[in-house]
Structure 1
């Protein structure tokens, strides 16, 4: 039996993720108290449900401290458990709540919305540290659904090396474990013939391939990851997210992510994400 536990901040897209899992054939339960996770999961297992997804978050805050022990107990029962945590920048969450006019689950007469969001971050800190994380700040609903489908398609026995491109002008992804800055390298944005293209396109690849500094930077990043990857594997990590940033996240960072993914794909489980390619207005 496979169990996906969705947690994260209010407004970060947990409902979208849960719907994506339901559409993929999972039996889904929303807003389950952590104290009931073991009991409900084993009941569903006896009922012949082999793929289950549940949402547990700050709405059941009294039982949240029980979640780590519940997850450990389930793994001892032979359940294949995965914890996925969704988060977003505070200003993004404030904007989403303002647009939907929803009330934050921790809001009261004494706390502002940003204060409630920060309180929730602290409350969920331990859960976040146990989970694979997705920063939804700049994701469309369709992109989030696609990332969730990628997540459930992975082999849980292997560490997944996730390469993500981004633009510094749009902020550093919250889910990054390593961040590399390639803004010092030649920028295809200033070549008019290359500006409409991305780092996936042949002319941009050729332009960057020919530069000695680009190749030296690639070699340094590759060597660092290769040197430290065994340590993360020994630490029983399921995910390692390597974020590569340039100015707008469309040329140099995309090129590096694609090239690194090709290099590591022979021996490591790989995921590739290009955050800014969902935003055509952004420029490198």
Structure 2
């Protein structure tokens, strides 16, 4: 099979995503299908199978025309945005280093329902990141930060904004949230033990005025480091692309709601100024129940 045929290009793209980028099976399938759909559209409109060179000559107008054809088929803004993102990656892969990708702004997408991850996935994510750290104290630090996000529902900025003033740790912790609003959050024993374990290994002192979580050189820990660590772990574990540090906070909220927490209490724990911000988690819980139904009910597919 020639390396220039659409089938060969799609297979190379599949191998790159699965082996080089370690993307999940779902992502690989979706991205490859999008690439195949683009090449089929090019063959239909141009009358011949597209080559690597032809893909490299695609313009912004071409991409707009392709997405317009998909709109006719009924896809919405979210699907169009996902397809455009996948196509940019495919064209960058086909074009190689230094290739120019057609500039095109994606459609505006309304914020969707948060995608929580399961308790097992949350712990597996934190363990993977901790075990992949170059030093034991950094692994303990990352473990503690991620447990704070999942076990206490903190935003990453709130967790990294903690200082030595919270010590010694008790059953609750005072958190400074958005717009300078403080709230009291319960601290699970497992989360408290994780923070204390980190402090026992950390080579930097925990003074009241200094950040609780430190970078390798002793400065404040950057949220970008935690985001990159999560991105690497989700690839290794095959988790969804929307598995981010903030997804751990979504999981905290969703799991509490599923176990009977009322919205007002959840609003206080999350530090939401408005109850409407908290109500989105009722949609998450309903979506979860539908997934359970579809996967388990004997007549769900009829």
What is the TM-score with the length of structure 2 in the denominator?
0.27
Instruction: Kindly indicate which of the two structures has a greater share of residues assigned to helix.
Output: 2
- Point out which structure has higher relative CO (alpha carbons under 8 A, 6+ apart): 1
Higher Rg: 2
Q: TM-score, normalised by structure 1?
A: 0.28
